[in-house]
Every structure is written in structure tokens, then in C-alpha cells.
Structure 1
């Protein structure tokens, strides 16, 4: 799954990081730790030894974890116990997370640990940053997490020269990967195993990638819907701002305004103003559906950005009267983010099914009033008969991915953790759905571009004309059957790398600069 952002140094630990920051690190940007964060980490870490010496029972530090919370750990065995936690929790299965996902998880982990509430040492956060900056990417299976513990344990093992990691294109033993990156193998300090597995880092990192992908897709979906509307000789009276103020959901209002901008100056719509009194819902209700997706996404992004800057460890440590106070808590439960990511998967399914409906309508001569399957009249070619089938199959997959993961909680750890979030599943489902939706929108754009050509010499609107042009530079008009998959992939790449969105944005900006109303 491609993540495209510009390289920049991302500072972590100041409690003000964004989804874009996590995505940048996932794509390879280097990280730096805020100096004030290192001071906080040092202050807390310096008092951990005192807490141990006093013989206090502190979960995951001087005791076991899960249902072993009442089992005391001998002070002399704390380091080996911390490493043992990582070994035992590294129980993942299945295909590994891809590199962007692992780096996103590591970035969220670093952002949390650098806040100085977890009791880890400065050397640990510096080592985590060094692994990101030197390209050491732990091998971490993608299955087996109920919301935390598993993938992060595999990542944690590499921090201490165990496990496996990718470096220089090779999958290596963790110690060898560190050696080649110029890092020594060290043993964990107090709390440094447990802190790596206690938070919601996996949900949050992958969730940030999913939300970022969805944000890019909604703008492309507007373009696809607008170009389909033109090709089908629809009308845009339903996008009138007077209609929107009667139901002023923010996303709906914003989508209608964007559609008006995309279609500004459309010769196709002007020539067919009275062609049809009322369009099908997949055209008429684009502001309502895409707008609802926008509103859902705004909620999801808000939740994820809170989580990126949160401390989800258990326990957390405060310094009060120069003494360390351990606060056991439930912040490691992933419910807030997991529920939001379930909502995101549902929203992406809405976008997907609506796009597929428009693709089907474009290729159906009985509904479109265009040549059958968008090939010139008199041809027996199949033309664009099958791409909507592919869109239907992938949209069906996205409907399945929209089945909420959070409702499937089970009891674990001998009943001590008897309600888990299943947030990792929710995050993976949402990210997969966003990837799928890119292909669905590519099919609609390919069909709509072909359909618009039948209206030449009439031209599309300001934004849709730009989209049509960039697609036509990559894919030629189809007047006979040829292999279809390369054309679909070419348009999918234009979406994934931002080229299509960039061309449309430039065209809309130029149109506005020229004083045309939006």
C-alpha cells in the first residue's frame, strides 16, 4: 500500500503530533525527539530504581502481567522478566505488516514513550528513533492482536537484538540488523519490555494510515462523481447552496460547493440542462453521501490525533513531591480508536458502493443513453462491460470489511482482560478498504472519461476537464477491445500518487484566480 509524502524531519514527544506526521514517518521521513521530552523521560526513569527499592507492588514492573499481576518479581530478575514478557507476547501469526505499517506503529510508540510517563530510559527512546532513522524495520506479524501486545512485542524484541528485522532489503536476525545499522545490542532496563507492549500503538499507527488514505479518496470521489454526472447528462440543481442551507451538515455543504467548482463552465451540462428532471440517487445525492463520509472522517481524524498524542500505558507514572507515583489504569483499552475505525470502514464502504453504482450506470446503455459498454456504435466489442464487475466484487469485499470488529470482543488472560477492543482488526480492515476503494474509483474514472468523450466537442467543467486530461495522457480512448487491466492500473496509480488530485486542485485554483464563481 503506497504512502506518498515529502521527506521532512518529524519531531516527536511534544504532544502535538498529527496524522500527517505519522504518515510521513511511515513513508520514510526521519524523526527527532523533542529536547523537553528527553528531560521528562530522564526525570521519571531516574526514580524507577527508588520505587523498586521500596518494594512497592507496581504492575508490570515488580509484578507479572495479566492474571499474573499478584506474582512478585525479584528485583534481581526484573531485566530478564522484561525480556521474557516480549518473548512470550511475540505470538503473532500470518503475513507480516508492511514497512509503512511497522514504521507508523513505531512512530506512535515513540511519541507516547517520549512523554515521560512510562518509566523507560532515555536510551530506549533514542534507540527507537535511531532504528527509524537508520532503516531497521522489525518483522511483525499482522495477525494475533486483540488491540495491543502482539506486533509491538515483535518490534520490542528487535530493540534488544532479538527477533527479526529488515535492513538493506534483507530479513536478518535482530542483532545482525542492529549491528549493520551501527547499533549495539543491549538488555532491557526496568519497565522497558512491558512499556513497549501496553499501549494502543498498533491500532493508532495503522489507523493513521487508513484515515490519511481516506482523506485523499474523498476528494477523488467527488471528481469521479462529477465527471459521471456530466457524462450521463445529469443536472446539478440539487447542488444549489439554497438546498444545502436547509440541511446544513458540514460535509454535505462542503461537498456541494466542491461539486459546483468542479463542474463550473461545463459545456456538457449547459447543453443538456433540461435533459432529465431528476437523476438517480448515485448522482443526485453525492453531496449527502460524500458529505456524510466527510463528517465521519472528521470524527475519525479527531479521535486518532488525540490517540497519537495520548499516553495509553498501564501503569503511568507521575512525579509528585519528588516521588514517583504509579497510576494503574485502563488507557490501554483501544475502544475509542477501534470504534472510530469501524466507522471509517463503513464510510469507505459507502463511498465504494456509490462509485460502483455509477460505473454500472455509465456502461448500461438502457440507463446511460450512451453506446453499449462505451464503445462506438455498431461494434460487437465488450468494451467496458467487465470493469464494473470488478468494481462490484471489490465493493462487496469492502462491505464485508465494514462489518464491525469491535463487537467481537472475547475474554482473555484467565478473565483478567475480559473485554478487548479488537482494534487492530478494525484498523487493518479500514486500511484495506481504503486501498480497495482506490481501485473502485479508478474504474469509475476510467468509464466516465470514456463516456465524456462521446459528448465532444462539448467540454467538461473546470475540474472535471483537468481530470479528463490527466487520465487521457495515461490512457487512450478505447475504440476496440484491448487488455483492460493496464488501463485500470494506470488510473489507480494516478490516484495513489496524488497526480490526479494535484491537477484538479491546480485547475480549480486557476479558475478561482480568473474570477470565475465557484
Structure 2
């Protein structure tokens, strides 16, 4: 039986998100949140019973906010909102991301500012715990007024509408609800709006990227250390005294980790080639990857705040019995964080590809051309580097900032939007590209080390080298190579290159 993930209102950690992303764990709510939820619901009920006008409770939405809706039409108003806003297109998000979306929405609602019923929260948790994943198309949100379209698709399942993924099968929601003994909900006033407003989709996609960035940066550091070994590089540029003078924490941490991985290796502290200066992709790893790490940590900090934010609208303040309309659904901070990650992801791959290119060039590395004996008859790593170059170039286009590309919607009522959902979504493709580029470097560096006949000597670096060699053999003559790259990329995805903790100086993103 899977361990439960305990959820306290507004207290999710990034470690909790990682657990939810990696596997399905049933949610167990802290009972203390129920009182606040019921108090906010009582305020909404009072507004309805006294016919007090409040946006989205007894009015239309967006540009139609001035249209007052009769009380007997309010349940239909909320259902219509969900049905009409479910306009997403494109491929469905994968279950891991949908789990994050649902978890974030639940965490927002249980804080007691949304005015929803406890029954609605129980229904969402029932779906989550039964691993019934509403099918959410990946496209259709501009990241302001909330992630309206994708969250509408999430909400359809509560109504017995749309499709869900259940037990690895795509099925109709109504059929699955009946099968597991659940019933479609009739939404109360404010509930449809509370479900649809919010940044939970863009935040979930940012969370996915931050989690994967940790795996990427760890693998890139290992690849860099192996390349330093294979090129017999000068290690003086990693002297901690140099990096302390730069006063950049990310740079200091990368230099420390590289030194930790390389200390006492066969290459010692200086190159056996007696080269005074190596190319930047080798000797400036702390400066470049350190800057990337800093951006990743910045994004993780924004993410930590956003996962516990209440971002629907309007918000209910039970202590003063007020319902206040604002704009917490605007995801500009998420968009900025995603754009910062895009630059870091692209740069991590760019410098990795350059190190691979150095390894293949005998004029620098002193190794056989394209890292294969009898080159000419064998092409070796020639096209692997071409693949890396192609992916690096793709990333340069994808790294263009998305958050500056606002476009007006809803008859100019929503005249400035964040584009955070796309900003975060495109990171997944960039991470796939970058992990593949780093996988190619890992293979090239191990090949170079074998050609040198000089294995890593330190415990940790040898461990990583051995992991690769346990599944990928030495490239002696040309063979089908794509599967080798895929296997090492999967190792990165599974965090097989997780770096050992260095206490407070860990290189981990979070």
C-alpha cells in the first residue's frame, strides 16, 4: 500500500511536489482546514440568500460581470462556465503533471478563501486518490484570469463530463465515476469559478521543469567532470580561492562539486599535456553552470511561493464577511521564472555540446578522430555531435522569452496576460533536448577515458563512469547508436547521476 502524502493547508513543500510527480500517493488532509473552508462557504451562502451582488457568484464572467443572474439559475451558471471554458486543444498532459495540477488546486481550496463546499474538496480528493486523472489538453491558456481552459477540463470530470485516464485507459468520465461509486456534482455558487481561476496548471508545469532541472544540472556536472578527465584538463581553474573572489554562490558550489568529483584522480591537479589554458567550455564550467544553477534556484524560490498561493478570484474573507475581487490569477511571476529557466536549460546544453566537440577533435584532445579507432572506416561519434548541435539550436529558438508576448483577450477586459502556461510548458521539450545533449557528452567522455586507458580514480566519479559502462559498452566499431543515447538520457531522467550532498553547499536546486 502506497504511503500517504499529508497535506496541510498552504504548507506544501517542493519535496512534496516531487513525491507527487514521481508516483501516485493518496492524499491525507489535515482536519484543521475544514473549519476555514466552511466559514468561507457560509459567507458565499449569505451573499446569495441576501441577494448581495458579488462577481462570479451571482453575475456573469469577464466582460459579462455586470450581468446579474437570478438565484434559481446559479447552479446552471457554474456548470455553463465549466462547459464553455473547456476549449483546450493539443495533446493531453501526462498523469504526473495532472497529479500536480490537482494537488495544487486542492491545496488552494482548503485554505478557506475560495468559498467552496467541503463536498467539492472531497470530490477532488476522491478523484486524486483513485488515480482518476481528468484529461487536460496542454494548449489554450494565456496564464491570466487563471489557467481557465485547462482547469475547466480538469473540472469536467467532477461533473461526469469529458474524458479521464484511468488504469492506463482513456475513458468517459461518467462511466468511470459510476464504476468506482462516485457521483457527478452539482456545483454551488462560486464553485465553478473557484475551480477555473488560478495558476495551478502553469505552476504545475513550472514544478515539472524545476524537478527535471535538478536532474539535468547534476548530470551536466558529472559529464563536465568526466570530460575534464578525458581531455586531461588543467584543474587549477577550479581552485576555490578563485571562486570565493567572484562571490557568486552558484559558481562556488559548482566549482566545489567539480573539485569533489575530481580530487585525486589520475590527472592530478594539472594537465599532463601542460596546457596553461583550456577552452572556456572546460575551464569556465563553474562560471557558466553556476549562473545556470542560480537561475534554477531563483525559479525554485518563485515556485515555492506559488504552490501555496491562493490565486482564484474573487476571494472570500470570512472574518470580515467580505468578498473581494482582484487579480491573483495573473501568473506573471510564474512566466518570468519559466523564462529564466529556459535560458539556464539552453545554456547547460550549449556548453555541454561544446565539450563534446572538443573531445571529438584530435587537434585538441589528442584522441582518435570522432573518438573511434580506424576512423574513416568508422564514423564514431560524428553524428552524435551533429544531433547535439541540432538540439542546441532548437533550444535557442525555444528559449525566446514567452512572458513578454502579451495578447489581449475577452474584449480587452483581460488586456494584459502572462503567457506563463506556454512559458512553462515549452520547458519540457527543452529539457528533453538538453538531457539528450548531456547524455551524448557522458558517452563521449567515457569513450575518451577508455581511449586514454586511464579510468577515474575517485569513488564518486568512478561510480558514475561504471553506471554508464554497465549498460553501454565501449564503442570499438560503428554500431546502431541511437539506443545508447536514449538509455543514458533515461538514466538522467531517473536521476541516476544525483550528486552526493555537500551539506549547506549542495549543488541541488532545492
> TM (normalized to structure 2)?
0.94
- Deviations for 1:423-476, whole angstroms, at most 9, x for unmatched residues? 100110123222222111111000000001122245344432221111000111
Separation in 1, partners of 2:457, 2:330: 50
Q: Secondary structure at the match of 1:406?
A: coil
- Deviations for 1:275-302, whole angstroms, at most 9, x for unmatched residues? 2100101011100111111111111011
- The Cα of 1:358 is off from its aligned counterpart by 0.9
Among candidates 12, 17, 29, match of residue 17 of structure 1: 12
Partner of 1:292: 291
Partner of 1:195: 194
> TM (normalized to structure 1)?
0.93
Separation in 2, partners of 1:188, 1:122: 12
- Asked whether the 8 Å contact 1:233–1:275 carries over to 2, the reply is no
- The Cα of 1:206 is off from its aligned counterpart by 1.1
1:357 aligns with 2:354: yes
- Asked whether the 8 Å contact 2:218–2:497 carries over to 1, the reply is no
- The Cα of 1:107 is off from its aligned counterpart by 1.0
Separation in 1, partners of 2:269, 2:338: 41
Q: Secondary structure at the match of 1:166?
A: strand
- Asked whether the 8 Å contact 1:12–1:110 carries over to 2, the reply is no
- Asked whether the 8 Å contact 1:264–1:462 carries over to 2, the reply is no
- Asked whether the 8 Å contact 1:142–1:151 carries over to 2, the reply is yes
1:134 aligns with 2:134: no
- The Cα of 1:7 is off from its aligned counterpart by 5.6
- Deviations for 1:36-82, whole angstroms, at most 9, x for unmatched residues? 11221112112321111222221111111110010111111111100
Aligned residues: 499
- Asked whether the 8 Å contact 2:235–2:271 carries over to 1, the reply is no
1:331 aligns with 2:328: yes
- The Cα of 1:236 is off from its aligned counterpart by 1.3
- Asked whether the 8 Å contact 1:12–1:114 carries over to 2, the reply is no
What does 1:293-308 correspond to in 2, within 5 Å? 293-308=292-307
1:149 aligns with 2:148: yes
Q: Secondary structure at the match of 2:28?
A: strand
Separation in 1, partners of 2:214, 2:148: 29
Separation in 1, partners of 2:155, 2:456: 57
1:261 aligns with 2:260: yes
Q: Secondary structure at the match of 1:317?
A: strand
1:348 aligns with 2:348: no
Separation in 2, partners of 1:124, 1:413: 28
Among candidates 430, 439, 449, match of residue 433 of structure 1: 430
Which piece of structure 1 moves more, 212-221 or 83-92? Answer: 212-221
What does 1:26-37 correspond to in 2, within 5 Å? 26=21, 27-37=23-33
Partner of 2:412: 415
- The Cα of 1:127 is off from its aligned counterpart by 1.1
1:233 aligns with 2:232: yes
- Asked whether the 8 Å contact 1:383–1:478 carries over to 2, the reply is yes
Please, which runs of 5 or more residues in structure 1 have no aligned partner?
1-5, 510-518
- Provide closer, same or farther for how the CA distance between residues 331 and 458 of structure 1 changes in structure 2, counting only shifts above 3 A: closer
Partner of 1:60: 56
Partner of 2:508: none
1:49 aligns with 2:48: no
Separation in 2, partners of 1:393, 1:109: 38
Which piece of structure 1 moves more, 30-39 or 240-249? Answer: 30-39
- Asked whether the 8 Å contact 1:13–1:112 carries over to 2, the reply is no
Q: Secondary structure at the match of 2:474?
A: coil
Among candidates 81, 101, 106, match of residue 102 of structure 2: 106
- Provide closer, same or farther for how the CA distance between residues 28 and 243 of structure 1 changes in structure 2, counting only shifts above 3 A: same
Separation in 2, partners of 1:332, 1:13: 22
- Deviations for 1:340-392, whole angstroms, at most 9, x for unmatched residues? 11111111001010111111111122222110111125662011111111111
Separation in 1, partners of 2:419, 2:81: 21
Separation in 2, partners of 1:410, 1:363: 46
- Asked whether the 8 Å contact 1:233–1:269 carries over to 2, the reply is no
Partner of 1:446: 443
- Provide closer, same or farther for how the CA distance between residues 219 and 444 of structure 1 changes in structure 2, counting only shifts above 3 A: same
Separation in 2, partners of 1:207, 1:459: 36
Separation in 2, partners of 1:436, 1:21: 26
Separation in 2, partners of 1:378, 1:285: 30
- Provide closer, same or farther for how the CA distance between residues 492 and 7 of structure 1 changes in structure 2, counting only shifts above 3 A: farther
- Provide closer, same or farther for how the CA distance between residues 384 and 460 of structure 1 changes in structure 2, counting only shifts above 3 A: farther
- Asked whether the 8 Å contact 1:102–1:140 carries over to 2, the reply is yes
Separation in 2, partners of 1:340, 1:273: 42
Separation in 2, partners of 1:378, 1:441: 23
- Deviations for 1:388-440, whole angstroms, at most 9, x for unmatched residues? 11111111122122111111111110110000110100110123222222111
1:85 aligns with 2:85: no
Separation in 2, partners of 1:208, 1:8: 22
Q: Secondary structure at the match of 1:500?
A: coil
Please, which runs of 5 or more residues in structure 2 have no aligned partner?
504-510
Q: Secondary structure at the match of 1:94?
A: strand
Partner of 2:116: 120
